[in-house]
Each structure stands twice: as C-alpha cells, then as structure tokens.
Structure 1
Amino acid sequence: MTQDDAEVIALGALGWLAQADLLDAFQNSTGADRDTIRGAAKEPEFLGAVLDFVLMDDMWVAGACETLSLPHQELLAARTALPGGNLPHWT
C-alpha cells in the first residue's frame, strides 16, 4: 500500500469517527480541538494517529471498514504505510 492510499483510508476513518459520534472521544484522547483536526488532517503523522485511535477497538475497526467497504486488515496495512507505523514484529 502506498502512503497516498493510506492517507485516503485514514481520511475516510476520520470521517467515520465524526459520523459514528466518536469525534469527541478522539478529541479527548488526543487533546486536539476541531480546528486543529481540520488543519492537521493533511498531515501523514496525524492521519496515523487517527488510525491508531480506530485500531484500539475491534468494533470501531469493524464499523469503519464496513462504512468504507474495506477488509478489516486494510486499516492496519494503511497504518503501517504512514509515518510511525513500521512497528517491529516480536515473533
């Protein structure tokens, strides 16, 4: 997956957060207000944080993927394509 593809998926996930009434939870978790979110939505690092947040809950992953018509593993693949997503595999 390219970084551009990952950014599109992350933007979709951000939109899903708003639609699913989880934007307030995201704001509380990150400390970002809505103006900050609007401005940072074009930054790959911020989009990685969006995916990190969605990936915290299996129900959120399922909801976002259903809305975005994606297989569940695509969110994790998108996260690995964004800055900070290249986590080591310990197994």
Structure 2
Amino acid sequence: MPGAGGARENAGRMARIDPAPDPETLALMALAYIAGDGDLLDRFLALSGLDLDGLRGRAQDPTLLGATLDFLLAHEPDLLAFAAASQVKPEIIAAARRKLPGGTVEG
C-alpha cells in the first residue's frame, strides 16, 4: 500500500518535543503572563517594591527575570497556570530559574 509507512514516519515527527525556551525568554514570557493578569501584577508589584515604570525599566534585567520566576514558583497555582498557558512543564520553569542570577545551583 502506498503511503503505509508514512503514518509511522509522521508519528515520529509528531512526538518530537520542542526544546525549552532559554531562561531569559521563559522569564520574559512569565513577566508578560503576570502583566496580563491584574491581580497577579498588583501582587508582583507589591512584593517587588516596583511601580509600573520601574518594572518596564528593568524588564530585561536578569535579576528581575529570576525574581519573576521566583514569584511564580512560590505559589503553585500560579506556577501551574503559567505552565499550562505557556505549554512548559513546571520542572522546566524551575530549571530555568536556577540558571538566572540568584538561582540555586544544584551540584
């Protein structure tokens, strides 16, 4: 049958998992996610001590990006919601955090 092997070949391609985004990109995705939710944003600003202008000015700061992931990792419901929205496993988010300034390096 022509094309019978095609399904098997396509199944292998469909099972391919895209690599995780780099830590900075993932943290920027997290920051955008937080900024898109008024309650999360208010809580993040209160905990960080930043205002919106300060947040905008430091959005590319690796230390702030690490703190952004810390914020999500500290509250499992927020972490799981972001993981689902970004289609990234929570353990990938935790691993990304360890690669940013202030992250714990596991030996």
- The runs of 4+ residues in structure 1 deviating greater than 4 Å are none
Determine the structure 2 residue equivalent to 1:48: 66
C-alpha deviation, 1:20, in angstroms? 2.7
Determine the structure 1 residue equivalent to 2:93: 75
Question: Aligned partners of 1:6 and 1:85: how far apart in 2?
Answer: 11
Structure 2: stretches of 5+ with no match in the other structure: 1-20
1:43 aligned partner, one-letter code: D
Greater Rg, structure 1 or structure 2? 2
Correspondent of 2:33 among 16, 30, 36: 16
Task: Answer 1 or 2: higher relative contact order, Cα 8 Å, separation at least 6.
Answer: 1
Deviations 1:5-42 (A, max 9, x none): 10100000111112232101000111100111111111
Question: Aligned partners of 1:88 and 1:77: how far apart in 2?
Answer: 10
TM-score normalised by the chain length of structure 1 = 0.87
1:78 aligned partner, one-letter code: A
TM-score normalised by the chain length of structure 2 = 0.75
CA contact (8 A) 2:23 2:96 kept: yes
Determine the structure 2 residue equivalent to 1:31: 49
What secondary structure sits across from 1:85 in the alignment?
Answer: coil
Number of equivalent positions: 86
Structure 1: stretches of 5+ with no match in the other structure: none
1:67 aligned partner, one-letter code: A
